[in-house]
Structure 1
């Protein structure tokens, strides 16, 4: 995200929501984007994890888009979105870990899911601490 956009977003806050740490938000969006890409690649492997990968890719994309379009977001809806993204990444990571020894793509996907979960958890912790 470019500097002008981050400056504009940091100046506008959501109703009832504390100002977000823009660097943490950027890290979360980057992790979601990387996870979406890894899951999309992994879903083409035709393994048992393909449905979980496709669902995780969709959830990561939705989380990222929601964070960029914060108008109308409430603290409860942001927390629910973060929880959903964390849960979907956990499911996908667990499925991909079953194939990680035989598929470097599944291993990469599982690692991306873990990084995304960690970024979403950090974002959630930050929002809870500021509340």
Structure 2
């Protein structure tokens, strides 16, 4: 998403309790979710036992990203719960991929994408916590 779209979202999509959303953190989180979704989808096609975890993680990242883009009806509590769920799925997929990252460059890349997604979700969550205080 480009900066014009993020500017429009920050002006036009202000909801109660989310007036001061950090749009840069939100964009970084959506980008990381998208990258993780793609990496997990590729990784799930390998003949490794991390496939189901990667597909579940890809689905969760996609859902998180779509929810962040839609935002109508989102409350800080719901969004934080979704971020927590996304981080948990990323952690699980990363752990499964790391079991054979030394044998598969795809699994190694996927684990790195999962870690980046967890970090971006955590940054978004921290931004929201600061906003709430």
TM range (shorter): over 0.9
Query: 1:1-131 counterparts in 2 under 5 A?
Result: 1-11=1-11, 12-131=13-132
- Over the residues paired in the alignment, what is the CA RMSD in angstroms? 0.9
1:83 Cα deviation (Å)? 0.2
1:51 Cα deviation (Å)? 0.2
Q: Given the two structures, how large is their TM-score scaled by the length of structure 1?
A: 0.96
Whether the 8 Å CA contact 1:49–1:96 is kept in 2: the answer is yes
1:16 Cα deviation (Å)? 2.0
Q: 1:57-82 CA deviation, whole Å, 9 max, x = no partner? A: 00000101111001110111000000
Q: Given the two structures, how large is their TM-score scaled by the length of structure 2?
A: 0.95
Gap runs ≥5 in structure 1: none
1:4 Cα deviation (Å)? 2.9
1:15 Cα deviation (Å)? 1.8
CA distance in 2 between counterparts of 1:53 and 1:17 reads 31
Q: 1:89-113 CA deviation, whole Å, 9 max, x = no partner? A: 0000000000100000000000000
**Alignment: residue pair count:** 131
